[in-house]
């Protein structure tokens, strides 16, 4: 029996979707692989599983029975999980102890040691909390955490707890990554242990340079005035400094990082025992990698760009003083290798490297793509010759974890025809050894009743105005009779740092639209991620221009599908996608007949420093660019029906963006539909909110298309 997917069913339990296994990690000796999976009965909880790499046997370690161990999330963790777009509970993080006997489990404000032998829990420092960013020290002796902006650690041998800092207040925090670091630089850590646990390096963040502004959060029961130091584009940032705490002496030392007044502390960490930092200038056109050698900062790597430099986490030491690094200086991202200060590209120019997964014995293992950006694979790179051998061969997107000592790797992967899998493989040749998890949709799977109606998308390419190849994915609707045509929804994000078109088991939202008679078209325009610096560069100081023209150009391919009614094309997007929806409606003429814009940016001057200035420059120096990218002047060209949605407690794309849109649409006497969600933040992820908004979206597109 085949059922039509409904909004209510999509967002209810048991979960229909089968996301990739998350937080995949080897035990220290490689004998086990642990990973999280969405619970079979609760779409908002992650459970923890372990697989024996010798037998392939999988057991569940942490499930609903441990909910009693959870406490209340700390403010630090609540904000960090929002920045990481982590909207589930349960096991959101964990770490292996060095001897492989136990796991450190942060569970909603509490910290636990989970002993594998007896499956027993022991709370760490129960009298202190709620704890944020709970992590183990380098050797595993200390559990470290942040409580109300100050840094603590507990000696797991003696249960003694020490407070590292004691000066946190309304504007000072220690050991916590600041808003810009988390939201835009994707640096979520604010402290780092020395490899021998003799010292702890941490950030001290002072937000007092940022003017205090008031933001209203509107909830169902009333409004709350929130005082916030939001770093608007062109304004000041928080002051971030780096400090070292020595355990034996208790001494704090300010580390004189070579930061100019407005530079960003982008990355911090230890490389083969040496403290290394990455420093980025405010324009993000200069990136310097420094190593602290003999108490002096040495330049290990330096890059410049006429547009911007993308940050990454691809820095590895080889154990012999040489480094691995990736750079887009030559076009695609390539692996660089050599002595500090003398790194050079070694991988082929046609191999785009996205992540370094391991290094050992003259070999490096990297993730990336060679033939098409719609896939991702693991490659073994010979550091002497630069030869790159592909190890994963099943078509699709592979996310891999390498354990060089045991000679294994695991790949969490899927493609449009195969739901997520977790496969244990031989590191020497990539051969599959065992399937540790397979989201097989058998008769007992809740999605089984919808499987025969599952629509497999088609892939293709179209050329941009500058000749760049753009990739698209088109999901056909369900149940069309021969000769019948259907409307299409362009599901857009379009902003930098993201990629939608991949050969992977797609989100079931695409199936929802398809089951209700809509085709879904997705296109990665210029500016999208995973294509290299030159592909991204056209949007520099021109946001809302080239990427909109690419979306319009992409519609040309729809005429080649006989089931598409090109006179009934709508557009829908969230966040940057909401911005793109508005710009497509205003600039696309009659190409788009209706649009749904959720949590859109309307004026980039109201967004934050690091993200906005990376692509648009400084608001004062580049005033014309900001004017051209602002939605408000374009609204006079809006003729198509619009549904506007926004969370009324959004602290990322502030609700002000939508109130400005409302006022300007009213001034222009432009009709529009509106739905706001009291108490909801940027993600609009609450179950009832998700059900309501997608029922509304379907209804809107039924009426308008």
What's the rounded Cα separation, in Å, for the pair 527 and 117?
50
Tokens of 126: 């129960």
More confident residue, 442 or 521: 521
What's the rounded Cα separation, in Å, for the pair 635 and 645?
17
List all residues 6 or more positions away from 648 whose beta carbon is below 8 Å from its beta carbon: 217, 218, 219, 655, 676, 677, 678, 679, 680
Question: Which of these, 22, 86, 64, lies nearest to 437 by C-alpha position?
Answer: 22
Question: Which of these, 569, 461, 552, lies nearest to 513 by C-alpha position?
Answer: 569
Verify whether residue 196 is a known catalytic residue: no
Burial (CB < 10 A; 0-12, 13-18, 19+), residue 406, is middle
Write down the CATH number for the domain with range 63-83+97-255: 2.140.10.30
What's the rounded Cα separation, in Å, for the pair 462 and 565?
19
Burial (CB < 10 A; 0-12, 13-18, 19+), residue 348, is middle
Confidence band of 457 (pLDDT split at 50, 70, 90): very high
Q: What is the pLDDT of residues 541-595, one digit of tens each?
A: 999 999 999 999 999 999 999 999 999 999 999 999 999 999 999 999 999 999 9
Q: Does residue 413 carry a pLDDT above 90? A: yes
- In what helix (H) or strand (E) does residue 626 lie, and over which residues does it extend? helix 623-629
Q: Count CA atoms closer than 13 A to 560's CA, side-chain side.
A: 10
Can you give the pLDDT at residue 215?
A: 81
Can you give the pLDDT at residue 541?
A: 97
Q: Does residue 530 carry a pLDDT above 90? A: yes
Q: Does residue 83 carry a pLDDT above 80? A: no
Lowest mean pLDDT among 9-18, 556-565, 594-603, 646-655: 9-18
In the set 650, 651, 657, 680, the catalytic residue is 650
Give me the DSSP letters along 149-199.
TEEEEEETTT--EEE------SSEEES---HHHHHTS-----EEE-TTSSE
Confidence band of 45 (pLDDT split at 50, 70, 90): confident
Can you give the pLDDT at residue 65?
A: 67
Q: Does residue 67 carry a pLDDT above 90? A: no
Q: What is the pLDDT of residues 327-345, one digit of tens each?
A: 999 889 999 999 999 999 9
**3-state SS of 439-486?**
CCCCCCCCCHHHHCCCCCCEEEEEECCCCCEEEEEEECCCCCCCCCCE
Tokens of 41: 């009965």
Instruction: Map residue 600 onto helix, strand or coil.
Output: coil
Question: How many other C-beta atoms are found inside a 10 Å radius of the C-beta of residue 241?
Answer: 15
Percent of the chain at pLDDT exceeding 90 = 84
For 192, 285, 345, 483, the CA distances from 291, given in Å and listed in that order, are 15, 20, 20, 66
**3-state SS of 179-191?**
HHHHHCCCCCCCE
- In what helix (H) or strand (E) does residue 267 lie, and over which residues does it extend? strand 264-271
- Return the biggest CA–CA distance within the chain: 80
Percent of the chain at pLDDT exceeding 70 = 96
Confidence band of 1 (pLDDT split at 50, 70, 90): very low
Q: Count CA atoms closer than 13 A to 331's CA, side-chain side.
A: 6
Q: Does residue 71 carry a pLDDT above 90? A: no
Lowest mean pLDDT among 60-64, 239-243, 348-352, 463-467: 60-64
DSSP at 211:
P
For 167, 239, 495, 651, the CA distances from 172, given in Å and listed in that order, are 7, 10, 33, 20
Verify whether residue 650 is a known catalytic residue: yes
Lowest mean pLDDT among 81-85, 284-288, 646-650: 81-85
Mean pLDDT of all residues belonging to the chain:
93
Instruction: Map residue 432 onto helix, strand or coil.
Output: strand
Q: Tell me the H-state helices in 37-108.
A: 75-83
- Say if residues 359 and 350 touch (Cβ distance below 8 Å): no
- Say if residues 291 and 275 touch (Cβ distance below 8 Å): yes
Q: Does residue 701 carry a pLDDT above 90? A: yes
Q: Does residue 649 carry a pLDDT above 70? A: yes
Can you give the pLDDT at residue 423?
A: 96
Domain with residues 448-704, CATH architecture: 3-Layer(aba) Sandwich (3.40)
Q: Does residue 69 carry a pLDDT above 90? A: no
Can you give the pLDDT at residue 404?
A: 97
Cα three-residue angle 219-45-25, rounded to 5 degrees = 130
Give me the DSSP letters along 115-145.
ETTTTEEEESSTTS---EEEEE-SSSSEEEE
Question: Which of these, 385, 390, 355, lies nearest to 370 by C-alpha position?
Answer: 390
Can you give the pLDDT at residue 227?
A: 85
Q: Does residue 87 carry a pLDDT above 50? A: no
Domain positions in the chain are: 63-83+97-255, 448-704
Q: Does residue 79 carry a pLDDT above 70? A: no
SS3 content of the chain, % helix, strand, coil (to 5): 20, 35, 45
Q: Tell me the H-state helices in 320-386.
A: none
What's the rounded Cα separation, in Å, for the pair 610 and 262?
11
Can you give the pLDDT at residue 192?
A: 98
Mean pLDDT of 7-26: 89
Can you give the pLDDT at residue 354?
A: 97
Lowest mean pLDDT among 12-21, 407-416, 616-625: 12-21
What's the rounded Cα separation, in Å, for the pair 408 and 391?
12
Tokens of 48: 């923890």
In the set 27, 528, 575, 597, the catalytic residue is 575
State the Cα torsion 481-485-486-492 to the nearest 10°.
130
Tokens of 693: 């908004």
What's the Rg (C-alpha) of the chain?
25
Strand residue runs (E) in 315-452? 315-317, 323-327, 334-338, 344-345, 352-360, 363-369, 377-382, 388-390, 397-403, 408-415, 418-426, 432-438
Can you give the pLDDT at residue 505?
A: 93
Confidence band of 64 (pLDDT split at 50, 70, 90): confident
What's the rounded Cα separation, in Å, for the pair 352 and 626?
32
Can you give the pLDDT at residue 118?
A: 83
Verify whether residue 575 is a known catalytic residue: yes
Please give the backbone phi and psi of residue 677, each rounded to the nearest 5 degrees, phi first.
-120, 105
Q: Does residue 370 carry a pLDDT above 50? A: yes
In the chain, how many H helices and how many E strands?
12, 44
Q: Does residue 70 carry a pLDDT above 60? A: no
């Amino acid at each position: 029996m085949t059922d039509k997917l409904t909004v209510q069913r999509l967002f209810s339990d048991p979960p229909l979707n089968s996301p990739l296994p998350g937080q995949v990690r080897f035990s220290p000796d490689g004998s086990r692989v642990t990973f999280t999976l969405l619970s079979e009965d609760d779409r908002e909880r992650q459970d923890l599983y372990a697989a024996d790499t010798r037998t392939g046997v999988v057991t569940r370690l942490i499930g609903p029975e441990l909910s009693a161990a959870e406490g209340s999330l700390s403010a630090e963790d609540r904000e960090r999980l929002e920045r990481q777009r982590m909207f589930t509970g349960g096991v959101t993080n964990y770490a292996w102890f060095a001897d492989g006997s136990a796991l450190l489990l942060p569970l909603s404000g509490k910290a636990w040691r989970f002993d594998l032998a007896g499956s027993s829990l022991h709370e760490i420092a129960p009298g202190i909390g709620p704890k944020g960013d709970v992590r183990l020290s380098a050797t595993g002796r200390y559990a470290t955490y942040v409580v109300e902006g100050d840094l603590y650690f507990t000696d797991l041998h003696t249960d003694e707890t020490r407070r590292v800092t004691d000066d946190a207040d309304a504007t000072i925090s220690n050991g916590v990554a600041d808003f810009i670091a988390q939201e835009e630089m994707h640096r979520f850590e604010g402290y780092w242990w020395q490899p021998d646990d003799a010292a702890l390096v941490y950030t001290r963040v002072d937000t007092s340079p940022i003017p205090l502004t008031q933001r209203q959060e509107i909830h169902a029961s009333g409004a709350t005035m929130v005082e916030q130091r939001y770093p608007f584009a062109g304004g000041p940032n928080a002051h971030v400094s780096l400090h070292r705490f020595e355990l034996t002496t208790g001494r704090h030392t300010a580390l004189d990082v070579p930061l100019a007044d407005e530079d960003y502390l982008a990355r911090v960490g230890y490389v083969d025992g040496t403290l290394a930092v990455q420093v980025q200038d405010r324009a993000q056109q200069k990136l310097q990698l420094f190593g602290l050698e003999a108490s002096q900062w040495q330049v290990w790597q330096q890059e410049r760009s006429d547009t911007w430099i993308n940050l990454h986490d691809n820095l590895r030491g080889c154990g012999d003083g040489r480094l691995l690094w990736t750079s887009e200086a030559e076009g695609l991202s390539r692996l660089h290798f050599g002595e500090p200060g003398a790194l050079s590209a070694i991988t082929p120019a046609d191999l785009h490297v996205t992540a370094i997964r391991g290094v050992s014995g003259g070999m490096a293992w990297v993730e990336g793509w060679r033939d098409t950006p719609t896939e991702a694979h693991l490659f073994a790179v010979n550091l002497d010759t630069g030869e790159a051998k592909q190890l994963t061969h099943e078509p699709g997107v592979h996310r891999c974890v390498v354990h060089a000592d045991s000679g294994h790797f695991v790949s969490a992967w899927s493609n449009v025809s195969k739901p997520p899998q977790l496969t244990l493989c031989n590191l020497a040749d990539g051969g599959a050894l065992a399937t540790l998890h397979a989201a097989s949709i058998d008769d007992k799977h809740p999605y089984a009743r919808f499987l025969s109606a599952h629509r497999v998308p088609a892939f293709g390419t179209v050329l941009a105005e500058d000749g760049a190849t753009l990739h698209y994915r088109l999901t056909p609707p369900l149940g069309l009779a021969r000769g019948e045509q259907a409307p299409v929804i362009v599901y857009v994000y379009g902003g930098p740092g993201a990629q939608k078109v991949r050969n992977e088991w797609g989100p079931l939202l695409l199936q929802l639209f398809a089951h209700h008679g809509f085709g879904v078209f997705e296109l990665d325009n210029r500016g999208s991620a995973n294509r290299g610096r030159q592909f991204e560069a056209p949007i520099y100081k021109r946001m809302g221009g080239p990427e909109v023209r690419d979306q319009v150009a992409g519609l040309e391919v729809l005429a080649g599908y006989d089931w598409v009614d090109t006179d009934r094309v709508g557009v829908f997007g969230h966040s940057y996608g909401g911005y793109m929806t508005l710009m497509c409606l205003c600039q696309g003429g009659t190409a788009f007949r209706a649009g749904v814009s959720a949590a859109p940016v309307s004026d980039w001057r109201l967004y934050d420093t690091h993200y906005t200035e990376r692509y648009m420059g400084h608001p004062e120096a580049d005033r014309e660019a900001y004017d051209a990218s602002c939605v408000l002047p374009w609204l006079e060209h809006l003729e198509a029906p619009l549904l506007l949605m926004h969370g009324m407690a959004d602290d990322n794309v502030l609700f002000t963006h939508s109130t400005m849109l409302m006022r300007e649409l009213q001034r222009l006497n432009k009709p529009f539909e509106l739905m706001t969600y009291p108490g909801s933040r940027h993600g609009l992820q609450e179950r009832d909110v998700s059900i309501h908004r997608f029922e509304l979206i379907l209804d809107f597109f039924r009426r308008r298309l």
